[in-house]
Each structure stands twice: as structure tokens, then as C-alpha cells.
Amino acid sequence: MPRLTADAVCLIGVLEGEGCGPEVISACLRVMDALEAVGLCKFQTRRGGPIGLAAEQQHGTAFTAEVMEFCRDVFANGGALLHGAGGGRFVYDLRRHFDLFCKICPVRVCEELGNAGRLKPEHLAGVDIVIVRENCAGVYQGRWSEGVASKGGRTAEHSFSYSEQEVRRIVEVAVRISQRRRGELTVVVKEGGVPAITKLWRDCALDIAAAAGIKARMMNVDYAAYGLLQHARQFDVVVAPNLFGDVLVDISGVLLGSRALGYSGNFSSGTAAVYQTNHGAAYDLGGQGKANPAGQIFSLAMLLRESFGLLDAAEVIERAVRAIWRQGWRTAELEEPGCRLAGTREMGELVADAVMAIAHETGIGVTGNSHADADDLHETSPHERAG
């Protein structure tokens, strides 16, 4: 992980996405303005073209050659990509093209949200999980076809696979994260449902974990889903194939209080990195100013920490979001008695104002002081993990 100074210019490629994407990205950009205003960061922002279903309607593909070249140029010049939600095959094709095989999804419950979620606060206290999801093989990168059966009626076929190299490299990432944490790893499989793939994952995981001194256990995906909601604190680092990981990350949104609070980074074995929320485009919310931008803002903090080593800036962003929640501000899906409601744009403004206030109160950025330390990071450098 590079450790940039606040004077260094961070290149960020921005894809606004569709649905609620442009609104939550706009809130993120407002936070970036605040970081620059207090001297925590300097940004060079480049904007790419349409993605997802909007691109498919215009150009016949969710991931156009123009956007592909845009991403390539950002990565080649040492930048990172921040994108809003895009539908269709966009995220899968983006990950495959740049071999972004490793998706890191932190699941940290914020006590500042109080009773806003569906689960009791005492049930959630101390929940801090990292879900490591494989991105470039398995079900989502398989092969499919449609046809007609000999006796009539439509048929659909889908085949997929994992190689040992694909499994080992993602498990190695998860094991390295486990070494920085509790030394425990949960490997999510489905014993009877996909026995051959489960055996490959089990053999690779147990071998790598044992060599690293990590305690690994296998868990079927259905029981893991139940366990996340019933007793989340049993989990520390979880590694899973793409379909299972996708389902578990969505379920973890219940722990956080809202699917809108989830975020992630997608990493190659080189320097390419893409940061996003874990929710979809929410087309029904697009243009209404109701979407919660917190997940997208947290993804910006992850980007600054992991791709540029700007620990202070990331810390200030996260503190700012929590400060706004402590003041009782909520977006509509987190409404609770006595709260103050804010729309997407207003929430972005509130967080931006809090960023500036915290920077001035603490002297972070404004005076050039550094308050964060690499040892305090939740994860290690993604490119250390993936490389």
C-alpha cells in the first residue's frame, strides 16, 4: 500500500452508474470537496461514460469499449475507480476483464444507529466481520445457453468451474487477513449441493490455513446465512465462492441496519482496484433524493485508505458519518422515533460539514498532523493481500 502525503494528487476515476447511482456518487464528490478544503487530500477526478442497463440500451453492452479504456487508463496512471451501481453484466465483465478476483466486504456494525435496524442492538454489539468473495470464476463467470427440449418446452443450461489456482489465490488473501485479526477463518461451501467444488475449496483452504497457523472451519452456505443473523459474533473472516459470498453480503445488510450501508473493494493481483456499494441501482429510488449515500461514502474512505494509504482522510470520513448519526440524522429507510430525516443530497452535505468540523477540531489535515497509524487499519493493503 502506498503511503501518500496530503499534498499528493489522488487520481480517481468516477462512473456515476444508474438508478440511485448518480445521487450517491454526487454526495461522495461533495465529501471529496470538503477533504480538499481542509487540506486532507488533493484529487484529480475523471468521469467515465454510462454503464449497466443504460449503456446496454444505448450501445448494446453494459460494459462498453469506451468505459473499458477509461478504466484501463485510470489504473495505468496509478488511480483507483469509484463507481455507482450499474445493472446487467457490468460488474461481472469489469471484474473478469481486469482480473479483479478479490472482493473485500467489511461488515462493521455502528452502534450510533441505535434502534434503526431490525435486530436488537445488544445482539449486534461488537460485530466486526470481513467477507472475502471470489469474483472471477464460479457461477457468475460461467457459460450459459437456452434451447428447446425434444419434447417441447424451453431449456436453460449453465455450467461453471473453479481451478485450484483460482481457489488458492482467494483463500490466501483471506488467510492473510485472518493473521491480522483473530486467526479464525470460515470457508463457505455446500457439501451435498456442489460436492466436487466443495472438496476443492476444502482441500485448498485447510492446507493453506494449516500452513499459516490459522484455524479454519467449513460451513454450508444455508447454515452460514442462518448463523449470520442468529449469532453474527461467531464470524471473523469469511471466504466464499462468488454466489455464496454475494448472498451472505446481502444478508449482512440486515446486521448493518440497511443494505445501503454495505460497501466493498475489488482488487487484482496488481494495482487495479474498484470501490463500490454492495447494493443495486435501486431504479425505483432514482431521482427522488431518498437513497442513503452512506455506503458509497464509506467506499470512498476504503479507497483512500487501501489504494492511497491516506489513513487520516479515511478516518475523518468514517468519524463524520458516525457523528451525523449520533446527532439523530437518518435517511428514510433508517427512520426511527425522534430522528431527523435527511435526503441524499442533504446527508452528503451534513457529512461534508462534519468532515470539515472534525478536521478543524482535531487538527488532522489542517495542521499536517497525522493521527492514524498503519497498525490501526482494519485490513492490510489489498495489493499485499492479492499479490
Question: Of the ranges 4-18, 133-147, 303-317, which one carries the lowest mean pLDDT score?
Answer: 4-18
187 in any annotated domain: yes
Query: Residue 374 — pLDDT band, cuts 50, 70, 90?
Result: very low
* Same domain? 311 vs 377: yes
* Residue 123 CA: distances (Å) to CA of 113, 172, 252: 13, 31, 13
Query: pLDDT at residue 342 above 90?
Result: yes
Nearest residue to 11 (alpha-carbon basis) of 307, 298, 313: 307
The CATH number of whichever domain residue 3 belongs to comes to 3.40.718.10
pLDDT higher than threshold 60 for residue 387: no
228 and 344 fall within a common domain:
no
Query: Is position 112 within any domain?
Result: no
**What's residue 366's pLDDT?**
54
327 CB contacts (<8 Å, ≥6 apart)? 340
The answer on 319 and 223 residing in a single domain is no
How confident is the prediction for the chain on average, in pLDDT? Answer: 92
Q: Specify the pLDDT at position 1.
A: 53
In contact, 384 and 341? CB cutoff 8 Å: no
How confident is residue 370, by pLDDT bands cut at 50, 70 and 90? very low
* Domain interval for residue 62: 1-106+263-387
pLDDT at 150: 87
Task: Output the pTM of the full model.
Answer: 0.93
